[in-house]
Amino acid sequence: MTMAAANTIIDIEPAARMRTPNDSPLKIICLAPTLVWFGALFAVPLIALLWAGFWRVENYQTIITFSLENYEQVAANFFAKSRYGLALVQTFWVAITGGIFAVAFAYAVALAIVYAVPQRWQRLALLFAIAPFWSSYILRVYAWQTVLSKNGVVNSFLKMTGLDWARLDVIFTQTATRIGLVHYLAPILIVILYVTLTNIDRAVIEAARDLGSTRWQVFKKIILPLSGFGLTVAGSFAVIIGMGDALCGALLGGGAGQSIIGKVPLFASMLISDYASATNLPRTAALATILVLAMLLVMWASFAIGERVRKATAE
Amino acid sequence: MAVEPQSPYDLEIRNVSKRFGAATAVDDVSFKVGRGEFVAVMGPSGCGKTTLLRMMAGLEGMSAGRIYIRGRDVSAVPVNLRSTRLVWQNYALFPHLDVFGNIAFGLTLQPYDRPVVSGKVKRMAALVGLTEFLDRRVGQLSGGQKQRVGIARALVTEPEILLLDEPLSALDAHLRLRMQGELRRIQQQLGISFVYVTHNQIEAFSMADRVVVMNKGKIEQIDPPEIIYNFPKTRFVASFVGANNLFEGSVLSHDGAFTTVETREGRLSVLAGDTRPAIGEAVTVVVQADKLTRQPKGILGENTLKATLRGREYAGSQNIYLLDLPTGAEVKLVAQESMAVASRTALNAEVAVHFPAEAATIIGYHRRPPEAVADISEAAE
């Protein structure tokens, strides 16, 4: 081949590649709504929150400045009278344990849908399983209050049937918070885990059976390891949402609900009361920033774990 | 001496049927697989061959019939307790385990001794040529290596029968040829029966001791490959296997060793079989494509037909010709000759094709070599 011929090929190739649809102005137009949406509803408020954390309040007047005073105050009181530290620990504790229950419950439901329900009924079963997703979250939390309260549905029923000794005493504890969280998270987690399970090749499961595995061994040695990534994703999702949730903690946990850690409010509940007292908005912003950072930490950790699990279970 | 009555067969399928709703996938199928025999089950897609294999493995229930392994009725034995192992078309390897983990899988389901398992895995890896790949991830293997893992994983558990579901169909042609040889070597080395499902007649014919041809859930013919090829028992087998030309007609006369059949294409003379069809009976004459030869035009003797050349294919050492008869029927002619010869005949040229009476058979009325008779009576038993 001559030099000239080789050059022509090189000359033509990039020119032909430059005008792919990816480089057309259409791409920018198509992406614009997403950018506007993302910017207006996520980036701008987040930056405003971060910025507001550095403002100061003097004589009931907000001063736009750059000061670390709010953070210094919070740090000084972290384990003292305001118990911010304990609230953060309570948040981690409730979110992680609630997340574990939620993932376990959702995994059981997803397993049942994928492996126990006949193929043609699977989509319908999934639809039923995630039906609560379409009802209002606030309504659901109030409904749980009615169910779990001292003279609520469960306890009234137990009283009627003479099973009074078994009465539930969970309302306004963090247990009730977790129940609310599990119900809130379940539909999303079921979808994540359903997709994970349907992606496991049926032939691989049959191969394990053919090689002599009992059903339990198939679950333990095949399905569970191959669900690893999905379980990590679902778990981190549950923990992050659980950390940011204030409604269950307020309405079911009663603000400062009892847990192993004690009658300590969730960090998000504390934020709300801090905001409600409304004397120092910049300090609330600083507290919120701390929660955002804690969530980022969880996100980073779960990403790291997820990558390891994915690498260990992918081909 | 074994105490239990030993069956001379590794596998016995008795009147097995499988219905999915109104559809019948497998329809009253019976056959036996002798000790250490390599049996290929061949048929077009949807003929029920894979369903049959899955029933042998216990992955699919039966609607009727029974399955015996070495004389034991295993019809009700669940998949994980059967002594059969399956090799999958798409490998179905465990993606989260390395090659060693995949091969060892079946040995680690019961309490086990680590060095014993490790020794068995290494021996099996050596047998299938995977010794250097034991610590590789499954995703790092080529298709051929993956299927070796699939075979090793099954064989290491010492099954009584190995079931293979189109194991080579995802491989390229060259690799397929090599793997065919290796599968046959492994089978003979271990002396285990193989039941090999395929739609590919080259695979079936080059490896199997006997071939089961299936169509629409039923068995059409069970015979050694050369019998299936040379003496198809039914019209379906004749059209599915090999490159056969079929001529429909009715028997006109018997003349000494020859039978004359009147077809739309003309009168054809066929060397008669062991039994003869009645005069007037509707029959199909089979002539293999490589038994046809081109004749100089003009001399239309016995078994010589006028034809028009419609297409040519060059397959290296042989040329394949497609010709149309005046009746519109298509015939195929395969000639062992160089490519240059083929181009001498122009497309759409008038030619004549001929076959000797000895090269033609009538479906259902075959001459059989003596050794084949024993096989047939056994299969029909």
Strand order in the sheet with B350-354: B293-295, B350-354, B304-315, B318-324, B330-336
Rounded to the nearest integer, the mean pLDDT of chain A is 88
Mutate to test the interface with A, among B79, B80, B88, B117 (most CBs of A within 10 A): B80
Of B353, B379, B350, B229, give the one whose Cα is nearest residue B300. Answer: B353
Residue A307 phi, psi dihedral angles, 5° rounding: -60, -40
Supply the pLDDT for residue B25.
95
> What integer is the mean pLDDT of A102-113?
97
Give B337-372 pLDDT, tens digit per residue: 888 887 788 888 888 999 998 888 888 887 665 454
pLDDT of the residue at A19: 55
State the ipTM, two decimals.
Answer: 0.84
The predicted model gives B138-167 an average pLDDT of 95
Output phi, psi for A75, to 5 deg: -60, -40
Q: What is the CA radius of gyration of chain A?
A: 26
- In a mutational test of the B interface, the residue from A199, A202, A211, A226 whose CB has the highest number of chain B CBs within 10 Å is A211
Checking if the pLDDT of A279 tops 70, the result is yes
Name beta bridge partners: B309: B323
Q: What is the pLDDT of residues A46-95, one digit of tens each?
A: 999 999 999 998 888 888 889 998 898 888 888 776 678 889 999 999 99
Query: What pLDDT score was predicted for residue B255?
Result: 85
For B152-188, the DSSP string reads HHHHTT--SEEEEESTTTTS-HHHHHHHHHHHHHHHH
**pLDDT tens sequence across A225-267:** 999 999 999 999 999 999 999 899 989 988 888 888 888 889 9
* Helix H or strand E segment including B31: strand B23-34
Q: How many CB atoms lie within 10 A of CB B381?
A: 7
Tell me the per-residue pLDDT of B110-129, one tens digit each, with 9 for 90 and over.
999 999 999 999 999 999 99
State the Cα–Cα distance between residues A98 and A175, nearest whole angstrom. 9
Q: Which residues contact A225 (CB under 8 A, 6 or more apart)?
A: A313, B96
Q: Interface of chain A against chain B, CB under 8 Å? A: 201, 203-204, 206-214, 217, 221-222, 225-226, 228, 312-315
Q: Is the pLDDT of residue B310 over 70?
A: yes
Confidence band, pLDDT 50/70/90 cuts, at residue A5: very low
Element (H, E) at B267: strand B266-271
Identify the closest residue of chain A to B138 by CA–CA distance: A315
Pairwise CB contact (< 8 Å): A313 & B88: no
**Residue A47 to chain B, least CA–CA distance (Å):** 42
Q: What is the pTM of this model?
A: 0.83
Report CB contact under 8 Å: B85, A213: no
Higher pLDDT, A102 or A132: A102
Cα gap A222→B113, rounded to integer Å: 21
Chain A residues within 8 A of B90 when measuring between CB atoms: 201, 203
Q: What is the residue whose two structure tokens read 């990816």?
A: A22
Shortest distance, CA A195 to any CA of chain B (angstroms): 17
pLDDT of residue A9: 43
DSSP-assigned letters across all residues of A150-176: TTSHHHHHHHHTT-GGG----TTBHHH
pLDDT band at A11 (very low <50, low <70, confident <90, very high): very low
Question: Which of B83, B96, B102 is the best substitution to test chain A (most A C-beta atoms within 10 A)?
Answer: B96
| A28 has pLDDT over 50 | yes
By 3-state DSSP, what share of chain B in percent is helix, strand and coil, each rounded to 5? 30, 35, 35
